[in-house]
Amino acid sequence: MVEAPRPPGTEPGARAGRTAAEVRAARRLVQAPSNPALQQLAGLAARLLAASASQVSLLTDVQTIGAVSGQDPDLVGSTGALADSLCTVTAAGGAPLVVEDAASDERVASLPPVTSGAVGAYLGVPLVGHDGHVVGALCVFDPSPRVWRSSDVEVLTELAVAATAELELSALSLEYESDRLRWQLAVAAGGVGSFDWDLRTDVLEWDEQVLELFGYGADDFDGTMGAFEDRVHPDDLERVRRLLGEAVRTGGGFEAEYRLVLPGGTTRWVKARGQVVPGADGRPAHLLGAVYDTTSEHGADVRVARVLESMSSAFFSLDRDWRFTYVNAEAERVLQRPREQMLGQDMWELFPGAVGAEFEVQYRRAMTTGEQVDFEAYYPAPLERWYEVRAWGDPDGLSVYFLDVTARHAAQEQAEAERAATQEALRTAERAQQAAERTAQRLTLLARVSAELTATLDTEEAVARLAQHLVPALGDWCIVTLVDEHGSMRDIGAWHAQEAMRPVVQRYRELRLSSTTPSSFLHRALRENRPVLVPSGATEAIAALLRGRARELLQQLAPRCAQVLPLRARGRTVGLVTLFRGEGSEDFTSEDSLIAEQVAERAGLALDNARLYGQQQHMAEGLQRSLLSAPVEPNHLQIVVRYRPAAQAAQVGGDWYDAFLQPDGATVLVIGDVMGHDITAAAAMSQVRSLLRGIAYYSGEAPAAVLSGLDAAMQGLAVGTTATAVVARLEQSDDERERGVTRLRWSNAGHPPPMLLTPDGTVTTLAGLHHDLLLGIAPQLPRIDEEIALDRGSTLLLYTDGLIERRDQDYDRGLLQLREAIGELAKEDLDDLCDGVLQRLLPEHAEDDVALVAVRLHPQDRPRPPQAGPHRVPPTPPAAAPR
């Protein structure tokens, strides 16, 4: 019985882990297709060692069976856990593993093949790749215990070398064919198209390449996602929809390969990649990307498999007297003799031509030294094949393995011939990729500039952002100029790609307009209202039209070429952009000019929109404020009012506030909102407010009666509108004054409820027991007064719905936020409380206007506090003293 020394790592229970390098080396061989020659080697191993079964295993992160003999052929290609395999133990040791009685051998006794009875005796040899890493094992085994001889180990070792060589050849051939196919596909991938899906308008824009890929003409593509989905293969449509939805939802990237069904039924494969671009509000605005044809990639696998599956190998063995002891079928073909003529015969007598040749030298060296020798040989017609011959000696004789390397030789020759074509294909693919990247970058620039310019309606901010986006995409540095209604120019934005040059550009911007002459390129672009190109030699051309320090700064900046673009909108030039490129940069191309003009067009419109917005907002806010008057300030009552217009220009609202005295000295507070946001609403608000003031003052009635009278007057005078309002009246008898309380009486016509802040900091919503109808609905219905006693030091807040209502939150949430804000600001003076509430609750760009009136009841047993401001009542006060 042969007892091989136990190598490190194979002691009982040991399972050496696979390194990353070993896994990579093995995975390279696993990827090769099924190999008949490998099957022959597995069968030869079983026959030579008289074993019932043999197996070739490759070890990555799993065991993959590459060939079997004496087992189910379907096992080839199957995988299993490394921890369950005897081959894992063999590979971990890096040396032959000899197991004569598996059930009693602690190294393998617990493994499933042993415990199941399938393996009683085992002999395994590591497979070592060309880079020295163990990639697997060749093994033979019997279900019953047996004795393994040292010659068995040697034979299996030699066969393992042959098996490794066969695996390496298969992998090399596959890698070569894969490289060749990859370059062919790179050439076919040159036609790349771009698309832009506007997520806000759901409009899809394709360039001519995408239209052609999808089988559309420019006239029959309607720019909808429906037209896109009409071409996607039904079996791919749901997957593509899901991937698009995920990209839009996460704001990330999109990548998919799918089929198109073209008119006439033709199927085309395409691959698309894109990126979601957010808008100014941070939400996804555009999905930009590219698409190209990948049809040629599908169908190549069959051709590769057909070439690789034609591989074969030859093997024969000799005894120490140089007589043939075994010849396989492929060896018969290579040696061109039937095995019956060779077995038992002297090799040198059968093949006298080999005597004295390299065959004899190498074979005798292997027989003598026992080392493996490798050399290549060419067999002429009728074979006309190149072989790599591997021979190794052992005590029983010599084993010879022929590896057909004709394909490798042909591949080397073909590689030389195809190298130039491959390099050209690479250059073509690189040019196509660069063109696609430039297109995507310019589309992204256009989308980003549009988003940034529309993110603000402040002219200065919009222009300042523009310069930074144009550099370095369209120029090395840039200056943006604003032109007012009178044609006066002002440079207000500048940027340079190099941080060190930015102070120089800024100083040049400050001096340029005052130092330039009317014949300058800048003035010419403004006069002629068209782009002006300054070709090579721009430094000298521009400097000739400058004076003083500005000329020195320009020479320091040293532009090689420049371009001035008018920013136009609504028939007038509102600005100019001057782009400069320095030494080392290319001239402006037609493509550069086109994208620059598109940017200028959008920038001009954004600048003019900003100008119009400012004018309209100023007009709207002035009109609204002119309709509101300053409140009264009775003794010991501090009244504060606020009005905030909506962010949208010319949105004159119907919100109003009021505070005045009735003839009996009671203070009346009013908050109201006429439906609508236009000039008509403002006019109606003015009528309703005036009617309410007159009715309340003349009648001296309580709030419910005042609202009923207003409702009747609106009907009788045909004020065709509806409105909400709260009328509150602060009253106080002599007894109540002695007790330091004031009575609040109010009536609510469909308006948000008042908020009460008591001296102890408690905030209460005065919802009351009843909510009457809006004004202008049913004037005949009675209205109800609500009543509550207020301690001095209390604060009452009335407001319009724009303070608490949002599209993205419900009404109750808004009320809760208002109560929390008032509670947090309870200790502030009344002005700061009102300002703080507006700051906390209103967004940066409010969608609705807001009116607010607040009153604080200061104690009456001391002078009016300074923070309450001056005492202010009408010149002719009512008969009763104000409270």
- Say what the alpha-carbon torsion angle 356, 357, 360, 365 is, to the nearest 10 degrees: 100
Helical pair 459-470 and 406-454, crossing angle rounded to 10 deg: 160
Which residues are paired to 270 by β-bridges? 258, 293
Contact 604, 569 (CB under 8 A): yes
Supply the pLDDT for residue 34: 66
- Phi, psi at 335, each rounded to 5°: -85, -10
- DSSP lists the bridge partners of residue 725 as 672, 749
Q: Give the pair of three-digit tokens for residue 59.
A: 């070890």
One-letter amino acid for residue 197 of the chain: W
φ/ψ of 124, rounded to 5, equals: -130, 145
**Can you give the pLDDT at residue 305?**
29
CA distances from 80 to 26, 96, 207 (A): 15, 21, 51
- Residue 824 CA to residue 422 CA, distance in Å, equals 73
Tokens representing residue 74 in the block: 């379907």
CA atoms within 13 A on the CB side of 835: 5
Longest Cα–Cα distance in the chain: 147
Locate 760 and state its tokens: 């102890």
Q: How many CB atoms lie within 10 A of CB 576?
A: 24
Give dist(CA 229, CA 730) in Å, integer: 67
Asked, as a colleague might, if the bond just before 472 is cis with ω within 30 of 0, I would say yes
Separation of alpha carbons 859 and 356, rounded Å: 129
pLDDT digits (tens, 9 = 90+) for 553-606: 999 999 999 999 998 888 888 889 999 999 988 888 888 888 888 888 888 887
pTM, full prediction: 0.40
pLDDT at 304: 30
Which element (helix H / strand E) includes 534?
A: strand 532-534
Q: Is 535 strand, coil or helix?
A: coil
Task: Kindly give the pairing relationship between strand 284-293 and strand 192-198.
Answer: antiparallel
- Tokens found for residue 632: 């009264």
pLDDT of res. 701 = 95
Paired residues of 568 in beta bridges: 573
The pLDDT assigned to 768 comes to: 84
Closest CA to 855 of 583, 652, 640: 640
Strand partners for 372 = 392
Contact indicator for 63, 85 with CB cutoff of 8 Å: yes
Residue owning tokens 């009543």: 787
Helix/strand/coil for 1: coil
What is the three-state SS of 772-820? ECCECCCCCCCCCCEEEEEECCCEEEEECHHHCCECCECHHHHHHHHHH
Pairwise CA distance, residues 143 & 6, whole Å: 22
- 141 burial level (CB within 10 Å; 0-12, 13-18, 19+): buried
Residue ranges in the chain whose pLDDT is less than 70: 1-16, 31-34, 175-191, 298-312, 454-460, 462-464, 613-629, 647-653, 869-873, 875-883
Q: What is the pLDDT of residue 794?
A: 95
Token readout for 190 is: 């040159």
Expressed in angstroms, the distance from the first to the final Cα of the chain is 120
